[in-house]
Amino acid sequence: MSNYLIGVSGGIACYKTLTLCRLLMKAGHDVRVVMTENACKFVTPLAFETITRNRAYVGEFDAGLDPATIEHIDLAGWADEFVIAPATANTIAKIAHGIADNLLTSTILPYKKRLLIAPAMNVDMYANPITQENLKKVEAMGHMIIDPGTGEMACDAEGKGRMAEPEDIFQILTAEMPLKGVKVLVTAGPTAEPIDPVRYITNRSSGKMGAAIARKASEMGAEVKLIAGPVSINLNGLNVTSVTTAEEMLNAVRENLADTDMLIMAAAVADYKPAQYSEKKIKKNNEEMNVPLTRNPDILKTISAEKLEKQVFVGFAAESNDVKENALAKLQSKKLDLIVANDISRGDIGFESDENEVSLYFADGTNLESGKMHKSEVAKLIINRAFDIFRGK
């Protein structure tokens, strides 16, 4: 059973948080509540105290507090999970900027783990670029935003901003961690092979698919390491080893291989590198310029010789034609358990896009079409299937 600290800021959605507390109590957890002064205008501390059977904390200097404890520090240390529900635009802005001007925000600052934040506000307040920027900032700090719902609001407006339903928040909080104890190694992004100090050759890859896999595996309880080539996406909250070249990626994969249950190679590794690196910047002397290239190691092929019986290897195949044939050939030659193929001739999916549509080909000859879905959903599908194989080994 866990210690749940619920931070309640001032919005009409406060009444839904009573249900969240009730659900957590019924599941046998210990629940404590910290409220802002404004939250107390919507729902009284007594309502939360009656449900949680614990004091609802409001003021930093309230009478009756135990002098032996320093509330904001002790509460932050006590909590296994800290949920801010509802999180108003104001409280989100304070989290984004480290402001600690009430007991709730003062408790957030010393809390070392990931917060779960359930925003609730009017549709225009939510859509305001400042709120959006603050949400991005908070997410980049490694916190999790529980997406608000769309629908009718207390202010009669329609749109996005309603706090997620308490049952949904409860589910996210208490979701099973099927991958607990499983070690997942993911590669993402391109590799870059330098020609001289300012030029390099590389592959097109944003790293979004690999990062989505790493995040999803981590949400599902896995111990995740991400080896990332040069990417400009946000990798906050992930355990990342950054590399540049294919050779460096190979070394990083090798170093971690013995301690890996599932390897998911989503990186777009450059197959060739300049035969010679020029220490000096190459000057443009001639009309033509030739850069001799030499083969890079094939990471999957190289390490397949060291593959343990119990390990699951997943590869990707980005193909512009003959998708199935090419993917199946790679599945075999790289000794994979599963290959994820996508058709890069389609502009609406893959590369920088947030969506993808893939075909999964398994070593046992079966296959599966994902249909078009968000990269995080594709990530979940891949992880679930890879885990099925792992369990069956």
Residues designated catalytic: 155
> Which segment (9-17, 67-75, 95-103, 292-300) binds ligand CTP by CB under 6 A?
292-300
* 205, 296, 342, 359: which one binds ligand CTP (CB under 6 A): 296
331 contacts ligand CTP (rule: CB under 6 A): no
Which of 166/210 has CB closer to ligand CTP?
Answer: 210
Please tell me whether residue 4 adopts helix, strand or coil conformation. Answer: strand
Applying CB under 6 A, the site for ligand CTP has a residue count of 15
Which of 78/390 has CB closer to ligand CTP?
Answer: 390
195 contacts ligand CTP (rule: CB under 6 A): no
* 89, 299, 360, 378: which one binds ligand CTP (CB under 6 A): 299
The tokens of 365 are what?
Answer: 């000859």
> What is the nearest approach in angstroms of ligand CTP to the Cβ of residue 95?
37
Other CB atoms within 10 Å distance of the CB of residue 276: 10
315 contacts ligand CTP (rule: CB under 6 A): yes
CB 309 within 8 A of CB 335: no
213 contacts ligand CTP (rule: CB under 6 A): no
Per-residue contact string for residues 220-249; x = within reach of ligand CTP by CB under 6 A? --------------------------x---
Paired sense of beta strands 149-152 and 158-162, if any: antiparallel
* 6, 13, 317, 331: which one binds ligand CTP (CB under 6 A): 317
Please tell me whether residue 200 adopts helix, strand or coil conformation. Answer: strand
323 contacts ligand CTP (rule: CB under 6 A): no
* 49, 60, 248, 298: which one binds ligand CTP (CB under 6 A): 298
Residue 360 neighbours by CB under 8 Å, 6+ apart: 338, 339, 340, 341, 367, 368, 369, 370, 381, 382, 385
* 4, 316, 361, 387: which one binds ligand CTP (CB under 6 A): 316
The tokens of 313 are what?
Answer: 């290897």
79 contacts ligand CTP (rule: CB under 6 A): no
Which of 123/267 has CB closer to ligand CTP?
Answer: 267
Which amino acid is located at 45 in the chain? P
Q: How far apart are the first and last CA of the chain?
A: 32
Of residues 257 through 276, those in contact with ligand CTP by CB under 6 A are 265, 267, 269, 271
- How does DSSP classify residue 195? S
> Sign of the CA dihedral 251, 254, 260, 261?
positive
179 contacts ligand CTP (rule: CB under 6 A): no
Which of 165/271 has CB closer to ligand CTP?
Answer: 271
* Alpha helical stretches, state H, 113-162: 123-127, 129-140
* Alpha helical stretches, state H, the chain: 14-26, 39-42, 45-52, 71-78, 89-97, 103-108, 123-127, 129-140, 166-174, 208-219, 246-257, 299-304, 323-333, 375-392
Q: List residues near ligand CTP by CB under 6 A.
A: 246, 265, 267, 269, 271, 296, 298-300, 315-318, 330, 334
